[in-house]
Amino acid sequence: MNDQTVSTSNSMNYSFPAPGDYEVRVSAGNVCFQADPLCQTVHVAQLQSYFAAQICQGETLAFGGNSCSASGNCTAIFIT
């Protein structure tokens, strides 16, 4: 971001390059009025991309819209 405009619409999505704390400044205005900018620190956490769980026979583990019902280890890999 580094003082760059990333959107001029009423809503936006932004992907931060790495986990950490970022200062985000939002400015709103139009040709007739410019509001004071709003600054906020945003903490971006590391996404968990892998997890493993053990379940017993007869149990079901639900995760990310999937489920596992086999006894033993259930493994899911998330692509981020």
Distance CA 12, CA 22 (A): 17
Distance CA 1, CA 8 (A): 14
**pLDDT score, position 45:** 84
On whether the CB atoms of residues 22 and 47 are closer than 8 A, the answer is no
**pLDDT score, position 60:** 81
**pLDDT score, position 72:** 66
Q: What HEC string does the chain produce?
A: CCCCCCCCCCCCCCCCCCCEEEEEEECCECCCCECCCEEEEEEECCCCCEEEEEECCCCCEEECCEEECCCEEEEEECCC
- Does residue 1 have a pLDDT over 60? no
Q: What is the pLDDT of residues 17-51, one digit of tens each?
A: 888 999 988 888 888 988 888 899 999 887 766 66
Q: What is the pLDDT of residues 43-79, one digit of tens each?
A: 988 776 666 777 777 888 777 677 777 766 666 666 5
